Chain A
Amino acid sequence: MNQLVVKIDRSEMRTDQFEIDLRSGMTVLEAVDAIYFYHDPSLAYRYSCRTGLCTTCMMLINGKPGLSCMTIAEPGEDGILHLAPLPRGKNIKDLIQEV
């Protein structure tokens, strides 16, 4: 199985890096789920429908805003998948912004 390096900008100016097993067709949301399940249960993120409708799973994916449930998990130019909360609004924790 391929590995994917995921770097997440988190609360309190912290950035963490994780190495996860990558399945083909895996979405960014599935990658974040895998980090919560197997690597770091304190990771906070938001989602609901998993089908691109509710928009609550939106985050910065390799620097661009996107729906994590609809975006395939792929590394950016530097070989790493970068995730960060949306820049606008107040941050609740990690990838969650206040609604």
Chain B
Amino acid sequence: MDEVKTDMLVIGSGAAGLAASVYAAESNQQILVIDKGAIGRSGSTVGAIQIASLGSWSHPEDSLEAYREDISDSGRGLSSPVLTDILVQDISDRIEDLLQWGLKLDKNVHNDILVAATSGHTLPRSISSKKGKTGLAILQVLTKKARKRNNIQRWSDVITLELVKANERVAGAVVLDLKKNKPYLIRCKAVILATGGIGQLYPITSNPAQSTGDGFALSLAAGASLVDMEQIQFYPVSLINPPSLSGLCLSFYHSAKLYNRNGERFMKKYEPETMENTTRDKLAIAIASEVEGGLGTPNGGVWVDAAENIEEVKRQFHHEYQLCLDRGLDFERHQAEAGPAAHFIMGGVLIDRNAASTMPGLYVVGESAGGLHGGNRLGNNALSECVVFGARAGMSAAREITQMSSITADVPLQTNKADKLIAVISNSGQGSERSYTCKKAVSELMGKYVGVVRSTEGLLQAKKELYAIEEKLAHVKIMSSPNFYSKEIVDYVEALHMVTTAHAVVEAALTRKESRGAHYNKDFPAQLTEAEHTIVKIENGKMTVQEEGEI
């Protein structure tokens, strides 16, 4: 296998991966950032609208303490106090850096920085750029900065198959350059993993095509621990119809009204005080319960009506409004079918204050990391997490590897897993299963059994079906030529990562015998007094779960 050498490998080029690269590059170490899609244009970051932060725009009553408390309340006992402290302490400095590098914040009519209120934040602290295309704006600023550094190399269309280790330390990765399906062994001193979330594990999702949970599977196989993987945020009000917009988040839901099939404004049964303007976990559970109770719309959602506040919707959420209008859905005149869509995973790789995982040599940032948001992520804290922990990981990994002498030379040349995977691809002419169909099967079973409302029986069924899909994947049929870019090969690698990650979610969900945050099991509807974390690992080739009080 051909080899590539670099000091630091960054996997994923969303806000987290690019922030890590840019801050790491201050050290003069050589940094290689790779992405399975187009660099800087393939993650969830692209779609993000606002970012929460303290700063000169802060409300007079806002403070580190107030922000910290909001995160901790929202986390339902599962937010790590250490990570929360760091987020609230570091965020204003990181926004300052971005502003210095060219980020421009949106202003109101008085030319003051526009600050928006967001459900669950007790004070308004959400700011934006490029008229609500904040994720894109941050990516552009970071990309510009990265281009200026000649110690950052960028490589698009290359998918990670496996992390490799030397002397019990992550020291590289086996990747597949999708342009020619050529495998490479990348040798480095540290890896920063920033591969985003898991939306594609579900049939309805707001997430981009690339959110197939690769990073969780890669980290597990490398020996790192995952925390609270059962905590998956479903964006409560996302379009179900038309199919081309399935999963589109309706950011204006707090000013819209929701009705069940009988025309009843059902939130009065669940949250009479806040009604629709409640946190995402509660709203998603309410909607899913209506649908479960037979009160859903024909396509299994509820009706959303935004006519009353349509002017506000047009003004503040213009992109969404226009997008719907272009597909024949005019919120001024029509109600739409909406329901919960897989949006964000609060769980993820267990990290410390500098984003180091439990496996030496492996740092994990952004949505792939777990522990900060606990049982429910507050809106607009995801981008904040990306820049804060991206920066920390970049700087701290650079510090660590500056002291290391040379790139470890004794990484095993080919690892078992990647070897097998490449062999299956080479022999796939004889197979019978489409990789795309396997991906679809994973998302369907996750939607059915591991969605908003779960049951122990359903989770056990999910586990069984996942094993069956795993079996099928061993007999994959790839009809396209392996010498050129092949979507079938991408789908195959992603399907493998999806199955491992789905297993981790199911195991964690089976272990949490209560309902807490985004995890709702109707067999255990109550929340226990003590909050425990679920920790998933792979030990001696077997997936294990433990419960731990503190992380």
Contacts and interface: CB of A to CB of B under 8 A. Distances in A.
Interface in B28-81: 37-39, 41-43, 46-47
Contacts of B248: 51
A23 B487 CA distance: 24
A25 B210 contact: no
Contacts of B485: 44, 92-94, 96
Contact of B484 (A41, A44, A46, A99): A44
Interface in A45-99: 45-56, 69-70, 92-94, 96, 98-99
Interface stretch (B323-331, B392-400, B452-460, B512-520): B323-331
Interface residues of B, number: 38
A37 B46 CA distance: 26
B323 A51 contact: yes
Interface in B244-262: 244-245, 247-248
B208 interface: yes
A99 B210 CA distance: 16
Interface string B167-195: 00000000000010000000000000000
A99 B39 contact: yes
A92 B243 contact: no
User: What secondary structure prevails in chain B residues at the interface with A?
Assistant: loop
Contacts of A51: 47, 245, 248, 319, 323
A26 B479 contact: no
B27 interface: no
Nearest to B327: A25
Contact of A36 (B209, B323, B484, B487): B487
B244 A92 contact: no
Nearest to B249: A51
B353 interface: no
Nearest to A73: B244
Nearest to A57: B209
Interface string B432-443: 001010000000
Nearest to B207: A49
B484 A11 contact: yes
A69 B486 CA distance: 20
Given A48-B208, A56-B37, A42 B47 contact: no
A32 B244 CA distance: 12
B47 A53 contact: yes
A67 to B, nearest CB: 11
B465 interface: no
Contacts of B323: 51-52, 70
B265 interface: no
A41 B479 contact: yes
B136 interface: yes
B209 A48 contact: yes
A41 B209 contact: no
Interface string B462-488: 000000000000000011110011111
Contacts of A45: 487
A30 interface: yes
A52 to B, nearest CB: 7
A68 to B, nearest CB: 11
B429 interface: no
A54 B41 contact: yes
A20 interface: no
A26 B208 contact: no
Among B156, B480, B485, residue most surrounded by chain A Cβ atoms (within 10 Å)? B485
B208 A54 contact: yes
A46 B328 CA distance: 25
Interface string B513-536: 000000000000000000000000
A4 to B, nearest CB: 15
A43 interface: yes
Nearest to B484: A93
Contacts of A55: 41
A56 B487 contact: no
B47 A46 contact: no
A14 to B, nearest CB: 12
Interface in B69-109: none
Contacts of A50: 208-209, 244-245, 247
Among A23, A27, A47, A50, residue most surrounded by chain B Cβ atoms (within 10 Å)? A50
Nearest to A96: B485
Contacts of B136: 53
B157 interface: yes
A16 B295 CA distance: 46
B488 A53 contact: no
A41 B434 contact: yes
A99 B436 contact: no
Contacts of B327: 25
A30 B244 CA distance: 7
Contacts of B209: 47-48, 50
A49 B208 contact: yes
Contacts of B480: 41-42, 44
Contact of A54 (B42, B478, B486, B488): B42
B314 interface: no
Contacts of A46: 37-38
The 9 A-B residue pairs with the shortest CB-CB distance in the complex, in nearest-first order: A42-B480, A93-B485, A99-B38, A48-B208, A54-B41, A27-B244, A44-B485, A48-B42, A54-B46
5 contacts: A26-B244, A41-B479, A51-B245, A54-B208, A70-B326
Interface of A: 11, 23, 25-27, 29-30, 36-37, 41-56, 69-70, 92-94, 96, 98-99
Given A36-B436, A42-B480, A99-B38, 18 more contacts: A11-B484, A25-B243, A30-B243, A41-B478, A41-B479, A42-B479, A44-B486, A46-B37, A50-B209, A51-B319, A53-B133, A53-B136, A54-B42, A70-B323, A92-B157, A92-B485, A94-B485, A99-B41
